[in-house]
A = this chain, B = another copy of it.
Amino acid sequence: MTWTPEDRAPRRYVDTAKAVRRGLLVVYTGDGKGKTTAALGLLFRALGYGHRVAVVQFIKGQWQTGEAKMAKALADRVDWFTLGDGFTWLTQSYEQDVASARRAWAKCLELLADPTYQLVILDELNYVLAYNFLGVGEVLEGFSRRSPTTHVVTTGRDAPPALIAAADLVTEMRKVKHPYDAGLKAQPGLDY
């Protein structure tokens, strides 16, 4: 294996002369674990700077998760909204699901327009777009009108191409090995 200086310290090799600072659109997608988890890592990092963060969970509503508990403990700086119906999405009618998504999206627009949030995490929004409960054009228009320094993060499998095209940072979490495949149970503090 050969190594170049670029391999080990990519963040150093930015031409800061032409660098700009603005709110980014970050997309975590793919079939591997770590998408929501990475979004929570951004939350953790942002809190270290005293930033204010909003999280909208589109899907995981019914779970009492470690992240929700922790967010509650940090409620002065983290606003946590649970707008899905857990895993019951899609067992209802398409029309009902669309109506739920639209209610959630109205809240998102409110958060995105609020300049006091430095980071807005829209957890599992990619799913909602892939299922066509919300139109990607409408969502991107909402993103473009957000407070200019607000970072937006979306998570979920199957991020639509138009979302990827509009994003500043896209990482595909690719599943190499998954503990469920070996019969290991989802564990508090690791999986949720």
Contacts and interface: CB of A to CB of B under 8 A. Distances in A.
Given A164-B176, A173-B171, A185 B20 contact: yes
Interface stretch (A43-51, A99-107, A108-116, A134-142): A43-51
Interface residues of A, number: 87
In the complex, the 5 A-B pairs of residues with the closest C-beta atoms, listed nearest first:
A48-B66, A19-B185, A40-B41, A48-B70, A37-B41
15 contacts: A1-B130, A8-B87, A9-B87, A10-B180, A14-B185, A16-B185, A30-B174, A32-B171, A40-B41, A42-B190, A43-B44, A44-B44, A45-B70, A45-B190, A167-B177
A178 interface: yes
A130 B11 CA distance: 19
Nearest to A149: B187
Interface string A157-183: 110000010011111111111111011
Contacts of A15: 183
